[in-house]
Amino acid sequence: MTTEGEHLEGLNSEQREAAIHTNGPLLIIAGAGAGKTKTITHRIVNLIKNGVLPERILAVTFTNKAAKEMRERIIAEIKKNTNGIHGQDGVPFVSTFHSLGVYIIKEHAKLLGLTRYFTILDEGDATSLIKTILKDIGIDPKQYDPKKIKNIISREKGKFVQIANYTEREGANSLAKIVAQVWSLYEKQKMKENSLDFDDLLLKATRLLKENPEIRKIYQEKWEYIHVDEYQDTNEVQYLMCQMLADNNKNICVVGDADQNIYSWRGANLKNILSFEKDYPDAKIVLLEQNYRSTQNILEAANVVIKKNKFRPDKNLFTKNEKGEKIGLYEALDENDEAEFVVTKILEILDGKANVPRQGLSQADGPRGSALSADRDSDPVEVTYALKSENILSEVAVLYRANFQSRALEETMLKYNIPYQVLGVKFFERKEIKDTLAYLRAALNKDSLSDIKRVINFPARGIGKVTLLKIFANETETLPIKVKIKINNFYQTLEDIKEKIASLKTSEVIKFVLKKSGIENELSSGTEEDAERLENIKELATLALKYDSLEAGRGVEKLLEDASLASDQDSIMINESHKEEKINGVKLMTVHAAKGLEFKYVFITGLEDGLFPHERHGEGESIDHEEERRLFYVAVTRARSKLFLSFANFRTIFGSRNMNAPSEFIADVPTDLLEKEGEDSRIKTIYI
């Protein structure tokens, strides 16, 4: 079998070594920016060049964005390097773990007592259901937080733990007893509604594989070669799923970096990647240490910081990139001063890099020596700049440890008219979008009480809470005739929508729902806010165009699946047709949300002891501390050209103004890599 060829050009020696490995287990330890996606892509193409059918290859990752990028690159390389695609469905199966779970469950839904049109509850829906259950059993949701109970259940499911095991382990403590009672009722209610939550998508798919040898064999034979991205982020259920799929021939390739394990609070188990050689004694290990992303200064800082961690395989990233600028360090008075500094630098980036008319802004000395300032009581400063030459602002990210930190940053961005986007504000979480999708789900799954509850009286049909309770209790015969007619009309609307789903393209179905449900009429005659909501639903129809190529019914099914599984990062990718996503804006996000992304300019804010590293209670301090350091390492390695670090002497948290010490992470960065921002770099006037 030939292993050399044009399809391997452009790979360094280590990447090539991983790409030409064909049979048996393979662990690729890929440092940040080391070209892991490129390596996986070329490995898959090499397998195909050596006669492996594309449809016998599986590649799994964590976000839709990562899966989409990998899928597109693989298909492009296949077309470029092979004579057509083998087989009728000749493409590798590339998906997220959750999408893979959906695929397996839908093929065997009956075994689980489900239909293939089961509803996927998002986090909000699942928490709401638990809140309802608490009320039903006479427990005050204010005393026992539904979200906390949901998180406990989620964590246990991620460990492949069942209710009986949980009860046996936790004993008779009051919280555990309540969790067990709620968990049991929660599972029963989901079965009644033909619905699953996110954790079920992994758990039930893995149980199908574990408890049904014939099903396990189907997928072991279907996918001869398994690729798992971000292996350090897998939990126990994902680990078992991968193990069972690869158990037949051990052709499993996992890619990961112990230094980027930052999701232990979500169940990610670092031991999965650290124990790979123990699980697969014959495994080949390839270390990718050449970084193609960052400058030497940024990379040196990252290396020095992460070497303090003990639970990691030794590696040292290097780069042939230029030395680059030093890392900027700013000591702010408070969070407002810090935000002013960030905006100042963004404006300087625009002024220095953008081809813009020099008109606009004159400012006096800034607070704490910042280059740009304004009286906080004055009118907002109007800033004029051109957005036509480059997507400069889209190359700027401001990272923070906790979501509350975005407030001061957002206020200052607005003050200076800097377009920005906060990751985590997702298109699919808007009320009007959830309402429209709820009509589709209810039409396909009449048992989905949460969806019916959401839309049965939107637009208003005069169906109140008492009537709704009687509907759910199958007591509609006791209702007045006029109310029965309203209910029948609503269910007829769902039937009409279901018929259209089976016959129309996805975008046309959205338009039909808009009219048939009465939403269009309701929002057309409302407020300015209603008009904006209507525009958002129309954008949903535009977004749905990409599903029109799928057969009728399947397009809507895929849209609902993608909407349910959209993550924070997908707010950039999946809504790119939406008007707000077209803004050339600065990205504001937590460090967790930034994982897997990269930007030319990165600001890491709030580097204060107690905030970053973050204080945690009731968990192992040493493990937490190492994870916080990994989190900082991830933040640093998001930057390509310029990195800024900042901390505030005072910060108001939960209404209390606290004095802070700088984060130890700042002291870990070698001083020769840092340059102080502020007093010495003050400028009197900036033109944009």
Q: Pick from 321, 240, 209: which is nearest to 637 by CA?
A: 321
Let me know if 638 is a catalytic residue: yes
Q: How far is it, in rounded angstroms, from Cα 444 to Cα 649? A: 55
Q: How far is it, in rounded angstroms, from Cα 427 to Cα 25? A: 40
List Cβ<8 Å contacts ≥24 apart for 144-151: 144/175, 144/178, 149/178, 149/179, 149/182, 150/123, 150/126
Q: Is the peptide bond before 613 cis (omega within 30 degrees of 0)?
A: yes
| Residue 84 counted as an annotated binding residue | no
Strand pairing of 225-228 and 195-197? unpaired
The C-alpha angle with vertex 320 and arms to 318 and 324, in degrees rounded to 5, equals 95
Gyration radius from the chain CA atoms: 27
| Residue 473 counted as an annotated binding residue | no
Judged by phi (left if over 0) then psi (alpha if -120 to 50, else beta), residue 87 lies in left
Q: How far is it, in rounded angstroms, from Cα 624 to Cα 270? A: 12
Q: Pick from 55, 42, 53: which is nearest to 81 by CA?
A: 42
For 651, the 3-state DSSP assignment is strand
Q: Which amino acid is it at 536?
A: N
| Residue 158 counted as an annotated binding residue | no
Residue whose tokens read 């009465």: 518
**Active-site annotation holder among 230, 432, 435, 568:** 230
Q: Which amino acid is it at 70?
A: M
The C-alpha angle with vertex 559 and arms to 556 and 561, in degrees rounded to 5, equals 110
Q: How far is it, in rounded angstroms, from Cα 278 to Cα 262? A: 23
Q: How far is it, in rounded angstroms, from Cα 195 to Cα 511? A: 26
| Residue 34 counted as an annotated binding residue | yes
| Residue 32 counted as an annotated binding residue | yes
| Residue 67 counted as an annotated binding residue | no
**Active-site annotation holder among 14, 16, 37, 630:** 37
DSSP run (H or E) holding 635: helix 621-636
Q: Which amino acid is it at 67?
A: A
Count Cα neighbours of 117 within 13 Å in the Cβ-side half-sphere: 17
Please state, in angstroms and as integers, the Cα–Cα distance from residue 96 to each residue in 71, 201, 480, 631, following that order.
11, 11, 49, 22
Q: Pick from 381, 302, 344, 260: which is nearest to 586 by CA?
A: 344
CB 227 within 8 A of CB 19: no
| Residue 138 counted as an annotated binding residue | no
**Active-site annotation holder among 260, 436, 493, 569:** 260
**Active-site annotation holder among 14, 156, 193, 229:** 229
Q: Residue 335 contacts by C-beta under 8 Å, 6 or more apart in sequence?
A: 405, 408, 606, 648, 651, 652
DSSP run (H or E) holding 43: helix 36-49
Strand pairing of 420-422 and 586-590? parallel
**Active-site annotation holder among 56, 190, 434, 638:** 638
Q: How far is it, in rounded angstroms, from Cα 197 to Cα 187? A: 10
Please state, in angstroms and as integers, the Cα–Cα distance from residue 271 to each residue in 268, 548, 618, following that order.
9, 43, 21
Let me know if 36 is a catalytic residue: yes
| Residue 339 counted as an annotated binding residue | no
Let me know if 229 is a catalytic residue: yes
Q: How far is it, in rounded angstroms, from Cα 348 to Cα 390? A: 15
Please state, in angstroms and as integers, the Cα–Cα distance from residue 123 to each residue in 97, 268, 513, 564, 565, following that order.
17, 18, 25, 9, 10
Strand pairing of 225-228 and 586-590? unpaired
Q: Pick from 259, 283, 228: which is nearest to 32 by CA?
A: 259
**Active-site annotation holder among 14, 15, 16, 36:** 36
CB 372 within 8 A of CB 686: yes
DSSP structure class, residue 225: E
Report, as residue numbers or ranges, the catalytic residues. Answer: 36-37, 229-230, 260, 638
Extract the annotated binding site for ATP.
30-37
